Structure 1
Amino acid sequence: MSQVESSDEGNQFGTMSGVFTPCVLTILGVIMFLRFGFVVGQAGVLMTLGIVIASKLITLLTALSLSAIATNTKVEGGGAYFLISRSLGPEFGGAIGILFFSAQALSVSMYVMGFTEAAAGYLPAGISPTLVATLTNFAVFACVVIGAGWTLKLQFFILAAIVASLASFYFGAYQSFDTHMLSENFMPQFDHGESFWTMFALFFPAVTGIMAGANMSGDLRDPARSIPRGTLAAIGVTAVIYLSQAFLLAGSRPRSALVENAMVMSDIAILPAFIAAGVFAATLSSALGSMMGAPRILQSLARDRLYQVLQPLGVGSDRDGEPRRAILTTFLISQAAILLADLNTIAPLITMAFLVTYGLLNLATFYEAITKNPSYRPQFKLCHWSTSLAGAIGCGLVMVLIDWRWAIVAIGLVAGLHAYLSRIDVKSDWGNLQSGLLFERTRRNLLKLEDELYHPKNWRPFVLALSGTGFSRPHLVVFGSWLTSQTGVLTLGQVIPGELDDRHRRRDSQERILHSMISEHNLSAFPAVVVAADYIAGVEALVQCQGLGRLRPNTILLGCPLTVDRMRVFGGLLRNLEGLGRSVVVLRRMDEPDNDWVAPRGTIDVWWRGRANGELMVLLAHLLLENPSWQNRTLRLLRVVDTDAGISEVRSHLDGLLREARIAGKTKVVVSSDPASAIQTTSRDAALVFLGMEPPEPGQEDEFFFRTEQLVGKLPRVALVRSAGGMRLES
């Protein structure tokens, strides 16, 4: 699944027109002209400064993270969605994409409502505000449909109007400034139901405009250069404006005027008409910016094919790639909000959505930094993992402090979408940092494991099963999976006899076949294929080279040779494996079940002859019983004695072994002078029989073969075990 490329180059805007101006116009919008006086009147100068600084700090930290990621990858359309999805993966990207698009679409309605509220004083009485808002929303929609190029050119005239209105306000505030009034408005005076956090929630949407430039990333000439410079410059300029306004508003009008008069800036300005023009320009420009940004997020999300229902919205116009279908969708959402909500209701919702987006953007940058992935080479050097982490934590804390209930809703929505995308298993070809994060965590854990002193309590089965292609010896694959699926590691090994120079293609092919089988049966396993001069040399090479540091195979799972000729070679392999310090399990199976993956019925019988091999046999039997496929089976710990005299003592010893090992099972003592006959008779209906063994001495392979055959007889499933130690039942 890849980002569909447009056949056209589209628009190519620079830092000033594509980032700085859209950010400034969105930040200096409806909140500044119509709600900032209310914030100052309620929170006072002191807390207002805290609100502005805290908001700017969060957006500054987020902008640093945004700049780092933007200078580390080729930025396409979609802004924050694109950056988050390419870092945290399609699941997080798809979840945040929906939320971020919705916030931008709702921002359109917020700015349109702000325009309508400001225009109410200039319209004839009786005109419906909803009608005015609807007509304004349609006009914004029409402007954006014409194209981003025309809209971005219009923004310079809007910027000039805002500069003129600010100049009018500053001159008027200078003339009417009173230090006594400033002192009266310095401390907070909250009305009932208002607090620092309600004012923060009301103000924060004003600073969310930092994404206005990033949302146009697909239309920028050089996103990696323009996004950092334009965004940071916009944050700095607007911070100075808001901080200075807090002092000027508090020193120019009493608290009652600040709280009750939404157009208090007009009363203070030397030329009130300029304020009206600024309000109209700011609200319309912010609405235009959001109406341009939201469809590009939706288009990028649709083109990534994460949601089938959204795919038609990824189509761009033939001439310049404009997302006109997505623009229409944005218009319909904003119009629904205009009909169903008001300005004070929408602002906190937008705040939560943006805080979640900013938090994940910071988190993505934090993970990119700490994984030390060689591909993370941002040109922007002012971002550190600590600043990204601080930004993520700050966003989370502010969400909870503003309204923990809405915070849970927002986080729950992201979690739900993430779970949905994980369940449908979306595929992407752009990569993400999950593998890098796992690699770094694994690397650190391996290094720690290397320095840890080994203790038998920590023994786990790391099984190397010599399974061939997997399809040729399925019983080894299944048995290895049963032993390791809950607590261990399984490697499926195959040896290809021959020379590497004419077998390497076959080696690659066989490794792919093993991968396919592992995937088909959903195994927790790894493939390992080697080319060697002969089979024995290949097995020994696999045993010695598999693993990393302490994490290496401790148990070798082999099939049992059923002819004396093969045993002559096999005996030498057993001796070499013992010399390498590996435990060996030789699986001898005489039956041919219809389905290898179904565990046979019956008990698991462990024939005890001492701790040398017995401890490993009991532990392996316990691991089988822990597997869901072997539930409702019973472990039996058995021993053969020559006479009745020792039954009680041996039985007590076996019971004590299971009790100290904390393993459930039954014990039985069999009296017989013929151990082979006793084993075959007692365990004829067992699902699996564990027997200990010792590798044959050189030259004794034939005798070893016949002795083993006599011992197991016609038992259908037998595991012959040679333990290399390293575990204790009591641990």
Structure 2
Amino acid sequence: MPSSTASSEDCTPEVSTAWMNWKDVFLQCVQPMLAVVLLLRFSSIVDEAGFPTTLMMVFFTFLITFVTGWSSCTVVSRKSSEVGFVKTMLAYSNTEFALSFSIVYLICLLTATSTFLTSAAEAVLHIFSTFSLELLDGATHDLRLVSSVLSLITLGLCLVRNRNARYVRTFIFALTCIAIALHLSSVMFRYGEYKMHRVSDRNAMIPSPPSDEINTVFSQLFPAGMCGLTILNIGSKLQNSAPRGAFVAITVSAGFYGAATILDYMEFFARTSHSNSTQTTEYNEFLSYIYTTVPMAIVVTLACVLSAVTTLKYCSVILQSLSRSNQCRCFLWLAKGYSKRDIPIRCLFILSTIQILISAIGSYDILCIPFTVFYLFAYALFNFYVFLVKLSDPEIPSPPTLVSLSIAAVCFLASIYTNRHLALFIALIFGISYCCLLYILRRESNDDGEECAKSMYPTVLEQMHELQQEPDSRRHYHPQILLLSGSPAARPGLVDFAHSITRGKSLLICGYIIPQDPCSRSYLLQLKIDKQINDWLRAREVNAFGAAICCTKQATGANILLQTAGLGRLRPNILMVGFKTGWEKQSKETISEYFQMLSNAFDKQVGLIVFRNEITGFDVTSSIRKNGAPINDDEDLAEYVDRV
């Protein structure tokens, strides 16, 4: 998500310990996994599918989530400097796949928001039915009305800044854990059966599928495994602790669902075996009805609204990032952000409107099917791409290639088995967007070199700004060397030694101090030498930059380079010079200037490297000849470099 401004809320994690970051990631991942399914439908799932099938579906769901989360953590750890889903995917993959996959994930999040709010509306209607209240018809029309109101509340929460959002999330998660404990204890001690009241679908746009089919039951369960790609949305300040928080969230959720499966099966077995104590059963059901049903419905409402706020924010930021990309200029009007936090208000209003229309389709039993199909297809795409990346770079710590390929194939087949029409729909969206982007990128690549250079400039400039704004806690030391080499062709050994230190992974600047006063003629010479230095470095495959200045004194020129070379955080922190061979034969002024260069490095508080090559030194100018005579003039040396 955008991090162009440093708010007070963004600064708190840097003061806190790593536990705070771990807790934030854990809560963002675990809350949606427990909020809906476990308290809304899980008892019905066990009754309809049976214990072995439910246990197998729970294992399959969380296995997919674990492998996908492992792959997501790999992406985050490799590109920890990127912020937001789209930027992380662009840094990890090619442009056409990153943007197409972002569109697919945008649809997944939008469907998830509608599913959460519809679930919250079902919980509200369950409370109404407890007190025999009806707004319109007690069925889908009431569900639409309540979900629309909750959608407006969710939109308002997304627009209002809450400094205590972390504590609110923690409080709601604590309530969710208490509700789950009450649910499991009611099953364990058998003082009644807890089930949410299902809303009638007589006014639904699409009739609910048969509840006894395995694909329908699996669709009701799979929303519990939606956090596989959530890590890619998390800001850069939390990405270092994202793997631990995500894996703990998946483990805790899997443990809860496994325990609920076993206890629900034991309760079902006990209910079918011992059905004779009618008076005690009625009293226990009354206790369950009063002490668990209504409070749990309130907890489900709060948890679902909180999850909907999170997914809607992610969705709006992804749409804003897609609009800001060069390939989506037609949606540029959606890219504008408001206030210092860069809030995508336009995206929020449009997505909220679409979400209300999706929620009007029907209840959770209907919306969970596109939710499951879209997420399964997204998981299949992501794991397949990680499989291809793993083949090209076996050293990355992603899941084994066969595991990623197997999970991708299983997710793809499961999406088709759940609903082949929806799977074909989301596949068409991905295919059309991928082909369109591929056509656009190929058309841009066929343009002239000037247009290609212009298209690269904004990206590089944006990355420079992001590097400059990177917090101190995440900055790592890199040896950035200013090498006083003169003409690199005159001291190739010194340049090669400096390049062996940086190895193209950090900054290397070859400084050339032309012993002339600045004038119009010297400026032309400077531009000529600067170009020739960079051409020579490129021909020698040395990843470095040339920097030529005009100054009569070497010490003064070195001081100027120390102050002005580089840009932003790409500034030299090491000064490297060659050893002054034959210093005892040099004049006092020459030795004084050399000593002053070394002193300037200490005054500037940068590192200093003095490299010595026995007696011969590094300067090979004396071996370079023109018409049989040694070259001593800078212009002649520049012409020699140009010929080389």
Q: TM-score, normalised by structure 1?
A: 0.51
Find the counterpart in structure 1 of residue 343 from structure 2: 322
Aligned mate of 2:226, from 205, 208, 228: 208
Aligned mate of 1:143, from 138, 145, 157: 157
Q: 1:338 to 1:399 in 2, by over 3 A?
A: closer
Q: Does 1:167 align with 2:188?
A: no
Are 1:353 and 1:410, in contact at CA under 8 Å, matched by a contact in 2? Answer: yes
Deviations 1:207-258 (A, max 9, x none): 113434432x23x4131x222111111100000111111122233358999x
1:210 and 1:239 map into 2 onto residues whose CA distance is: 13
Find the counterpart in structure 2 of residue 364 from structure 1: 385
Find the counterpart in structure 1 of residue 440 from structure 2: 424
Q: Does 1:134 align with 2:169?
A: no
Q: Does 1:11 align with 2:24?
A: no
Are 1:266 and 1:273, in contact at CA under 8 Å, matched by a contact in 2? Answer: no
2:297 and 2:210 map into 1 onto residues whose CA distance is: 31
Are 1:213 and 1:227, in contact at CA under 8 Å, matched by a contact in 2? Answer: yes
Find the counterpart in structure 2 of residue 101 from structure 1: 106
Aligned mate of 2:306, from 273, 278, 285: 285
Map 1:31-180 onto structure 2 (within 5 A): 31-79=37-85, 81-123=86-128, 124-127=133-136, 128-147=142-161, 149-176=163-190
2:118 and 2:30 map into 1 onto residues whose CA distance is: 20
Find the counterpart in structure 1 of residue 363 from structure 2: 342
Shift of 1:281: 2.4
Are 2:100 and 2:430, in contact at CA under 8 Å, matched by a contact in 1? Answer: yes
Find the counterpart in structure 2 of residue 333 from structure 1: 354
1:117 and 1:228 map into 2 onto residues whose CA distance is: 34
* 2:263 counterpart SS class: helix
Find the counterpart in structure 2 of residue 399 from structure 1: 415
More moved, 306-315 vs 238-247: 306-315
Deviations 1:548-573 (A, max 9, x none): xxxxxxxxxxxxxxxxxxxxxxxxxx
1:279 and 1:319 map into 2 onto residues whose CA distance is: 33
Q: Which amino acid aligns with 2:143?
A: P
More moved, 419-428 vs 387-396: 419-428
Shift of 1:417: 0.8
1:52 and 1:76 map into 2 onto residues whose CA distance is: 33
1:108 and 1:300 map into 2 onto residues whose CA distance is: 19
Shift of 1:110: 1.1
* 1:121 counterpart SS class: helix
Find the counterpart in structure 2 of residue 234 from structure 1: 249
Q: Which amino acid aligns with 2:216?
A: T
Deviations 1:513-543 (A, max 9, x none): xxxxxxxxxxxxxxxxxxxxxxxxxxxxxxx
* 2:10 counterpart SS class: coil
1:286 and 1:122 map into 2 onto residues whose CA distance is: 20
Are 1:104 and 1:290, in contact at CA under 8 Å, matched by a contact in 2? Answer: yes
Deviations 1:327-375 (A, max 9, x none): 22221121121234432222121222212222222223222222128xx
Find the counterpart in structure 1 of residue 323 from structure 2: 302
Map 1:352-391 onto structure 2 (within 5 A): 352-372=373-393, 381=397, 383-391=399-407
* 2:50 counterpart SS class: helix
Shift of 1:158: 0.6
Are 2:68 and 2:229, in contact at CA under 8 Å, matched by a contact in 1? Answer: no
* 1:176 counterpart SS class: coil
Displaced runs of 4+ in structure 1, greater than 4 A?
A: 7-10, 253-257, 264-270, 426-431, 504-509
Shift of 1:268: 7.7
Q: Which amino acid aligns with 2:100?
A: A
Shift of 1:271: 3.8
Are 2:210 and 2:216, in contact at CA under 8 Å, matched by a contact in 1? Answer: no
1:421 and 1:212 map into 2 onto residues whose CA distance is: 25
1:147 and 1:227 map into 2 onto residues whose CA distance is: 24
1:39 and 1:404 map into 2 onto residues whose CA distance is: 22
Q: 1:229 to 1:269 in 2, by over 3 A?
A: farther
* 1:55 counterpart SS class: helix
Find the counterpart in structure 2 of residue 470 from structure 1: none
2:178 and 2:286 map into 1 onto residues whose CA distance is: 13
Tell me which structure has the larger Cα radius of gyration: 1
1:48 and 1:157 map into 2 onto residues whose CA distance is: 30
Find the counterpart in structure 1 of residue 262 from structure 2: 247
More moved, 422-431 vs 363-372: 422-431
Shift of 1:302: 2.2
* 1:233 counterpart SS class: helix
Q: 1:22 to 1:34 in 2, by over 3 A?
A: same
Aligned mate of 2:215, from 197, 204, 218: 197
2:441 and 2:26 map into 1 onto residues whose CA distance is: 39
Q: 1:320 to 1:17 in 2, by over 3 A?
A: farther
Structure having the higher helix fraction is: 2
Q: Which amino acid aligns with 1:115?
A: A
Q: 1:193 to 1:25 in 2, by over 3 A?
A: closer
2:82 and 2:350 map into 1 onto residues whose CA distance is: 21
Q: 1:77 to 1:350 in 2, by over 3 A?
A: farther
* 1:28 counterpart SS class: helix
2:409 and 2:79 map into 1 onto residues whose CA distance is: 25
Shift of 1:46: 0.5
Are 1:41 and 1:256, in contact at CA under 8 Å, matched by a contact in 2? Answer: no
Are 2:215 and 2:418, in contact at CA under 8 Å, matched by a contact in 1? Answer: yes
Are 1:176 and 1:268, in contact at CA under 8 Å, matched by a contact in 2? Answer: no
Find the counterpart in structure 2 of residue 313 from structure 1: 334
2:227 and 2:127 map into 1 onto residues whose CA distance is: 28
Map 1:462-541 onto structure 2 (within 5 A): none
Find the counterpart in structure 2 of residue 412 from structure 1: 428
Are 2:120 and 2:305, in contact at CA under 8 Å, matched by a contact in 1? Answer: yes
Shift of 1:397: 2.2
Q: 1:313 to 1:21 in 2, by over 3 A?
A: same
Are 1:103 and 1:354, in contact at CA under 8 Å, matched by a contact in 2? Answer: yes
Shift of 1:382: 6.4
Shift of 1:405: 3.0
Are 2:220 and 2:369, in contact at CA under 8 Å, matched by a contact in 1? Answer: yes
* 1:276 counterpart SS class: helix
Q: 1:371 to 1:272 in 2, by over 3 A?
A: same
Q: 1:256 to 1:112 in 2, by over 3 A?
A: farther
Are 1:91 and 1:421, in contact at CA under 8 Å, matched by a contact in 2? Answer: yes
Gaps of 5+ in 2: 14-19, 137-141, 193-208, 273-284, 445-454, 461-527, 540-644
* 1:244 counterpart SS class: helix
* 2:308 counterpart SS class: helix
1:152 and 1:508 map into 2 onto residues whose CA distance is: 54
Q: 1:240 to 1:507 in 2, by over 3 A?
A: closer
Are 2:143 and 2:363, in contact at CA under 8 Å, matched by a contact in 1? Answer: no
Q: 1:300 to 1:266 in 2, by over 3 A?
A: farther
Q: Which amino acid aligns with 1:403?
A: N
1:75 and 1:295 map into 2 onto residues whose CA distance is: 21
Deviations 1:164-219 (A, max 9, x none): 111211221111189xxxxxxxxxxxx9674322222222122113434432x23x
Q: 1:25 to 1:271 in 2, by over 3 A?
A: same
Q: Which amino acid aligns with 1:120?
A: L
Q: 1:268 to 1:132 in 2, by over 3 A?
A: closer
Q: TM-score, normalised by structure 2?
A: 0.58
1:338 and 1:21 map into 2 onto residues whose CA distance is: 25
Q: Which amino acid aligns with 2:440?
A: I
Count matched residues: 413
Percent of aligned pairs with the same amino acid: 20
CA RMSD of aligned residues (A): 3.6
